[in-house]
Amino acid sequence: MNEEQIIAIGEEVVREICTIYDPEIPVNIYELGLIYDVQVSDEGDVKILMTLTSPNCPVAESLPEEVKQKVGTVKDVKDVEVEITFEPPWNKEMMSEEAKLELGMF
């Protein structure tokens, strides 16, 4: 895979992630700042580093699995690994300007 293809896959992965919403907050998980990193290898393997709004998040089991499943549907993605981290801990400052606006935080 060339660099252009890798970038295109990465952009499509982010678009797919933007269709996943936190069940308690009406904002997608990308805009919420829950996705820390997306890496695409030359072979089309995707590694996603993400967090949750809290370690006791009610969707701690299902949300990473949903990310894995949806990203796995992206054309040319071979394998998906989702790693959860709590370093740094998520906070409201990690949200995009759009998310803050949507939630009336301005």
pLDDT for 63 equals: 95
pLDDT at 57: 82
Please name the fold of domain 3-91. GMP Synthetase; Chain A, domain 3 (3.30.300)
3-state percent helix, strand, coil for the chain, nearest multiple of 5 = 30, 20, 50
What's the whole-model pTM score?
Answer: 0.93
Q: Could you tell me the residue ranges of all domains in the chain?
A: 3-91
Q: Where are the beta strands (DSSP E) in 4-100?
A: 35-40, 45-50, 79-84
Asked if 13 and 74 touch (Cβ cutoff 8 Å), the reply is yes
Per-position pLDDT tens, the chain of length 106: 999 999 999 999 999 999 999 888 889 999 999 999 999 999 999 999 999 988 888 888 899 999 999 999 999 999 999 999 999 999 999 999 999 998 888 6
Q: Is 83 helix (H, G, I), strand (E, B) or coil?
A: strand
